[in-house]
Amino acid sequence: MSCLSPRAAIGALCLFPAIFSTPLHAQEAPDVQTQLTQIQASLQQMRTDYDQRIATLEAQVSQLKKENTQLASQARKPVATLAQAPSEGPRGSIETYPPLPGSKPAATDSAPAKTLSKAQQRVAKVESLEDKITAVAPPPAAAAPTPFPNLGGNDRTIDLGAELFLDAKYSSQSQNPENPYAGVLPNGAEGVPRGFSIGETELVFKGAVDNLFRGEARFVLEQEGNSTSIKTEELFAETLGLPGGTKVKAGKYWSSVGYLNDKHPHEWDFVDLPLVYKQVFGGQLNETGAQLSWIAPTDNMLFKFGGEIAQGSNGYGESFNSNYNQNKPRLGTLYAKTGGDIGDSHSWQGGLSWVRSTTGSGASANQATYTLSNTNDVNFTGGNTTWIADFVYRWAPFGNPTSQNLKIQGEMFWNKQSGSMTSNYNCAETEGQCLQGSNFAQNQQGFYTQGIYQFIPKWRAGYRYDRVFNGTNSFGLPAEALAGSQIQSGWDPYRNTIMMDWANSEYSLIRLQLARDNAFGPGIYNNAIYLQYIMSLGAHGSHKY
């Protein structure tokens, strides 16, 4: 291509021997010289070739243009005679009009029509020849680079990618999903309502702010009873230019702990979250704070480490006392992820995460409150620690997931809360917190494991088993205080879920899901059927692993 841009050829090739005329480079000089002559020769030849071709084509074009003008003038003649006939009056200006219907020289009418169409053909031929000439021209040099990174949308001047995810469901369940789960503490996330409902309709704006920062905002329209509410799901800025494999992200975002935690509802493989996410995080851990992550400079395997500091609330979920308007952030996380490939067809990722939050103590203590029954609460002061181990394995034949692929994933949670409590249990209404103790301790665990198999293009089927373990607890309350409450010791609910979905394209999906669980208490089974669609509009998504 050096022949097509003489500047580079001459600039680079000519200058090198001139500059490096030292004995060290003397050997290279003849080589470059011969190359130079060769290139110049081929350049010359190409130039002549092109000149000849262009000359021929231009000759043809001018010839055809000439013929065309002749034909066009012939075609116009009858019109001109028509105009000349009525020599007086305003009709004199009719010259350029086509022949009027029923006008005198009817005999001549059809002939010029023919020549006209012939002329049009000629014009088309000329135009196509002109196209050929432009097609012969060399491809243009590099398009001018856009001024800023473009990670969001197709608009290269504003770089604001917008996406809209629509999610609607129909569900039929044998239990009321608004009832609290038993044996699960805390219980923040709502179930899918019965009947028709809209799920999370997500509106995303994202893009590069400038060469150093990128921003993303996600707003969610959620059905709440008969009305809808708007929530800020994520709103953060992150760095693009930090050295050494580091990145800082700050704002409100889904924590990177675990595997499923930072996946948006439209990326889930099932209609709902595993029970253990509801148990430990009351949904997903979504916090306002800052995150630092670092990727080790390794060759084949990924080693990623990160940590977050967030304002936090002790029970993690939104239903607990938040730490809003306090100087001291009370939630921290650390996580490590590793992963790699096994051959072309297999890949995997594993992670270990740690989440810790405290209520603080003394005057600034920010107690977490759990409901025992309609009138009784237990308030908790202390710390809340969670460990998560996660694993994902994917198979795709030759690494091509288009027609078939398999994904197996699982996560295990260990959650521990310990500290002291106060409660209004058995108090006369005016006396307040009459029960106090220093022995609030709760150990819960939970896991889920699931497999999703795409057996033919567009169709996937999946199975999930999940279970939570209420563990060993001591709340400083008499056993009867716990009866009928969420904190029923010794109840370990489980759930079986199967699903099948069909994706017409990357942008649409329809899913059927069947589930049976006993999360509402011993012997109370919830049989559920869900039908869901997820549609996405806007910028082309680019999904995480």
Partner 1 sequence: MKLFKTLSALSTGLMLSLTPSLAHADLKIFATVPEWGALAETLGGDKVKVYTATTGMQDPHRIQARPSLIAKARSANLLIATGGGLEIGWLPTVQREANNAGIMPNQPGFIEVSRYVQMLDIPAVVDRTMGDVHAEGNPHIQTDPRNLLPIAKAISARMQQLDPENATYYHTQLSQFNQSWQANLQRWQKQAAPIRGVKVWYQHDGYPYMNAWLGLNQVGVLEPHPGVEPSSRQLADILQRQQSVQGRMVIAPAYLNDAPAKWLSEKAGIPVVVLPFTVGGNEQAKTLAALYDDTMQRLLVALK
List, in sequence order, every residue forming a beta bridge with 228; answer none if it has no partner: 223
Q: Which of 146, 364, 375, 436 touches partner 1 (CB under 8 A)? A: 146
Q: How near is the Cβ of 263 to partner 1 at its closest, in Å?
A: 13
Report which residue type is found at 150. N
Residue 282, Cβ neighbours under 10 Å: how many? 23
Instruction: Determine if 400 is a binding residue for partner 1 (CB under 8 A).
Output: yes
Residue with structure tokens 């260990």?
414
Q: Which of 180, 383, 451, 541 touches partner 1 (CB under 8 A)? A: 541
List, in sequence order, every residue forming a beta bridge with 93; answer none if it has no partner: none
Asked if residue 249 lies in contact with residue 238, where contact means CB atoms within 8 angstroms, the answer is: yes
Nearest residue to 413 (alpha-carbon basis) of 485, 492, 355: 355
In this structure, what are the phi and psi dihedrals at residue 321, rounded to the nearest 5 degrees? -55, 125
Q: Scan residues 476-535 and list those touching partner 1 (CB under 8 A).
A: 505-507
Instruction: Determine if 14 is a binding residue for partner 1 (CB under 8 A).
Output: no
Instruction: Determine if 132 is a binding residue for partner 1 (CB under 8 A).
Output: no
Instruction: State the number of binding residues for partner 1 (CB under 8 A).
Output: 86
Q: Scan residues 307-326 and list those touching partner 1 (CB under 8 A).
A: 307, 309
Per CB under 8 A, the segment of 221-229, 299-307, 360-368, 376-384 that binds partner 1 is 299-307
Q: How far apart are CA 338 and CA 350, in angstroms?
A: 5
Q: Identify the three-state secondary structure at position 271.
A: coil
Instruction: Determine if 439 is a binding residue for partner 1 (CB under 8 A).
Output: no
Instruction: Determine if 26 is a binding residue for partner 1 (CB under 8 A).
Output: no
Q: Scan residues 323-362 and list those touching partner 1 (CB under 8 A).
A: 332, 334, 337-341, 344, 347-349, 356
- Tallying the residues shown for the chain, one arrives at 545
Nearer to partner 1 among residue 122 and residue 330 (C-beta): 330
Task: Show Cβ contacts of residue 249 under 8 Å, excluding neighbours closer than 6 positions.
Answer: 236, 237, 238, 239, 290, 291, 293
In this structure, what are the phi and psi dihedrals at residue 493, rounded to the nearest 5 degrees? -65, 155
Q: Strand pairing of 201-208 and 346-358?
A: unpaired
Instruction: Determine if 247 is a binding residue for partner 1 (CB under 8 A).
Output: yes
Q: Which of 43, 72, 162, 240 touches partner 1 (CB under 8 A)? A: 240
Q: How far apart are CA 462 and CA 531, in angstroms?
A: 15
Q: How far apart are CA 226 and CA 223, in angstroms?
A: 7
Counts for the chain of helices (H) and strands (E), in that order: 7, 19
Nearer to partner 1 among residue 2 and residue 489 (C-beta): 2
Q: Which of 18, 24, 107, 142 touches partner 1 (CB under 8 A)? A: 142
Q: Scan residues 378-397 and list those touching partner 1 (CB under 8 A).
A: 394, 396
235: its two tokens: 């709103």
Q: How near is the Cβ of 139 to partner 1 at its closest, in Å?
A: 4
Nearest residue to 541 (alpha-carbon basis) of 339, 269, 267: 267
Cα distances from 352 to residues 246, 303, 386, 391, 465, in angstroms, run: 19, 12, 11, 9, 21
Q: Could you give the string, one character per residue 198-237, with x where binding to partner 1 holds by CB under 8 A and - elsewhere?
A: ----------x--x--x-----------------------
Instruction: Determine if 543 is a binding residue for partner 1 (CB under 8 A).
Output: yes
Q: Which of 457, 479, 480, 523 touches partner 1 (CB under 8 A)? A: 457
Per CB under 8 A, the segment of 35-43, 259-267, 417-425, 461-469 that binds partner 1 is 35-43
